């Protein structure tokens, strides 16, 4: 994959030479004619991770940009090569202290520039791999491995945050606890792979009926918790009914055969003002879910959130 490099030099001739050289080496070049333009490029979301900056430029100098970039400290890292002209005797140490990673003297020697760019490129690529690995770890730590929705600790965090938000901004928060009906039968009849497929398909159906700002997490084996910010009792019950229909409407076609899957739903709503906390909301939703199971499954039941003792 070709790598994007920002070059900034106020001297047209040397900028063009640099640009042509880099293109010859298959770099994708973004050229800036002065420091301000370079800084502008570096602040964009798709900023090049590799920059070759002339030291002396009108507006922001290469040194100024180094300092600004390091102060901003954003990710991914920006690798900076400073261009210094030997006859101006710029202080290389000062450049490195300002945050430059390396420097090349002008007029540049092609081989030297090539080697130094490759070193920079290696750093940039290693850092990208590191960021990707860290992101993957973060996903693994917060998501259910099978269904890829939030795991239990993560959905509880989200619920806690939403309650915190209602405490600041007012308004209700609702939760739905839902459980696939007679799920054990699926596993016993069709095997665990079929069970996994049913879980994934149920999640897919539920998610396709959710608003973008609602969150769903796997709470237990076949039990899921949905957090609905801003929804009161009526709205949450209506939404739970939509989810119930989404799960139950069509039989699920699996490679092991067709299965009819339904789910039972327990709904509760609360506000921070009336003492809602994750434990109380989940406890009430659980009670409602139990009622839905007892009343014959494949239905939605509501329970008021328990008030704290006065
Ligand atoms: Mg210059």
Decide if 167 contacts 272 (C-beta within 8 A). Answer: yes
Structure tokens at 125: 């690529």
Q: Where are the domains of the chain?
A: 4-141, 152-302
Decide if 80 contacts 69 (C-beta within 8 A). Answer: yes
Q: Which of 237, 209, 212, 214 has the alpha carbon at shortest distance from 225?
A: 214
- 4-141 falls under which CATH superfamily? Response regulator (3.40.50.2300)
User: Ligand 1 centroid vs 36 CA: distance in angstroms?
Assistant: 13
Backbone angles phi, psi at 257, to 5 degrees: 135, -175
Q: Which of 177, 199, 204, 178 has the alpha carbon at shortest distance from 259?
A: 199
User: Ligand 1 centroid vs 54 CA: distance in angstroms?
Assistant: 6
- The string of DSSP letters for 211-253 reads -TT-EEEE-SSSEEEEEEET--HHHHHHHHHHHHHHHHSSPEE
User: How many CA atoms are closer than 13 Å to the CA of 135, on its beta-carbon side?
Assistant: 8
Sign, Cα dihedral of 114, 119, 122, 128: negative
User: Ligand 1 centroid vs 28 CA: distance in angstroms?
Assistant: 22
Structure tokens at 52: 């070759």
User: Ligand 1 centroid vs 10 CA: distance in angstroms?
Assistant: 5
Tokens 């290696």 sit at which residue?
122
Active-site option among 37, 162, 201, 222: 222
Quick check: bond before 83 cis, omega within 30? no
Q: How far is 139 from 21, CA to CA, in rounded Å?
A: 41
Q: How far is 216 from 226, CA to CA, in rounded Å?
A: 4
pLDDT of res. 126? 95
User: Ligand 1 centroid vs 272 CA: distance in angstroms?
Assistant: 60
User: Ligand 1 centroid vs 121 CA: distance in angstroms?
Assistant: 24
Tokens 């939605």 sit at which residue?
300
User: Ligand 1 centroid vs 193 CA: distance in angstroms?
Assistant: 65
- DSSP symbol at 87: G
Torsion, Cα 145 151 153 158, to 10 degrees, reads 140
Q: Which of 297, 206, 210, 286 has the alpha carbon at shortest distance from 245?
A: 206
User: Ligand 1 centroid vs 116 CA: distance in angstroms?
Assistant: 20
135 flagged as catalytic: no
Cβ atoms within 10 Å of 29's Cβ, excluding its own: 19
| 168 alpha carbon, distance to own chain's centre | 25
pTM of model > 0.75: no
Residues 6+ apart with CB under 8 A from 36: 59, 60
Decide if 95 contacts 53 (C-beta within 8 A). Answer: no
User: Ligand 1 centroid vs 96 CA: distance in angstroms?
Assistant: 18
Q: How far is 252 from 249, CA to CA, in rounded Å?
A: 9
User: Ligand 1 centroid vs 39 CA: distance in angstroms?
Assistant: 15
Q: How far is 193 from 163, CA to CA, in rounded Å?
A: 37
Residues 6+ apart with CB under 8 A from 296: none
pLDDT of res. 289? 98
User: Ligand 1 centroid vs 265 CA: distance in angstroms?
Assistant: 68
Q: Which of 252, 263, 250, 259 has the alpha carbon at shortest distance from 299?
A: 263
Helix (H, G, I), strand (E, B) or coil at 143: strand
Helix (H, G, I), strand (E, B) or coil at 45: coil
Query: CATH class for domain 152-302?
Result: alpha beta
Mean pLDDT per segment of 10 residues, for the chain of length 310 residues? 92 95 96 97 94 95 96 92 77 88 90 95 94 94 96 96 90 96 94 95 97 95 96 96 97 91 96 84 96 97 82
Q: How far is 218 from 139, CA to CA, in rounded Å?
A: 14
Decide if 57 contacts 51 (C-beta within 8 A). Answer: no
């Amino acid at each position: 994959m070709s790598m994007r490099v920002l070059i900034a030099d106020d001297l047209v001739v040397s900028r063009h030479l640099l640009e042509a050289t880099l293109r010859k080496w298959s770099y994708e070049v973004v050229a800036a004619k002065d420091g301000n333009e370079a800084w502008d490029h570096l602040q964009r979301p798709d900023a090049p991770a590799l920059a070759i900056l002339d030291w002396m430029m009108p507006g922001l100098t290469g040194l100024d940009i180094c300092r600004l970039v390091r102060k901003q400290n954003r990710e991914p890292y920006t690798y900076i090569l400073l261009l210094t002209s030997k006859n101006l005797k710029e202080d290389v140490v000062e450049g490195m202290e300002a945050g430059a990673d390396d420097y090349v003297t002008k007029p540049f020697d092609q081989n030297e520039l090539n080697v130094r760019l490759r070193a920079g490129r290696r750093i940039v690529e290693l850092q990208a791999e590191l960021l990707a690995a860290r992101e993957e770890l973060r996903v693994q730590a917060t998501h259910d491995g099978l269904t890829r929705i939030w795991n239990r600790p993560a959905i509880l965090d989200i619920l806690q945050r939403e309650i915190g938000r209602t405490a600041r901004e007012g308004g209700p928060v609702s939760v739905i606890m839902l459980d696939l009906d007679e799920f054990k039968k699926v596993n016993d009849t069709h095997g665990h792979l079929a069970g996994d497929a049913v879980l994934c398909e149920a999640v897919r159906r539920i998610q396709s009926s959710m608003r973008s700002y609602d969150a769903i997490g796997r709470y237990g084996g076949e039990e899921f918790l949905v957090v609905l910010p801003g929804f009161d009792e009526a709205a949450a019950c209506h939404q739970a009914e939509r989810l119930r229909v989404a799960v139950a409407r069509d039989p699920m076609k699996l490679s092991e055969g067709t299965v009819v899957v339904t789910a039972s739903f327990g709904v509760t709503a609360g506000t921070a003002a009336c003492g809602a906390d994750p434990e109380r909301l989940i406890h009430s939703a659980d009670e409602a879910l139990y009622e839905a199971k007892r009343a014959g499954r494949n239905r939605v039941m509501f329970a008021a959130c328990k008030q704290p003792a006065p």
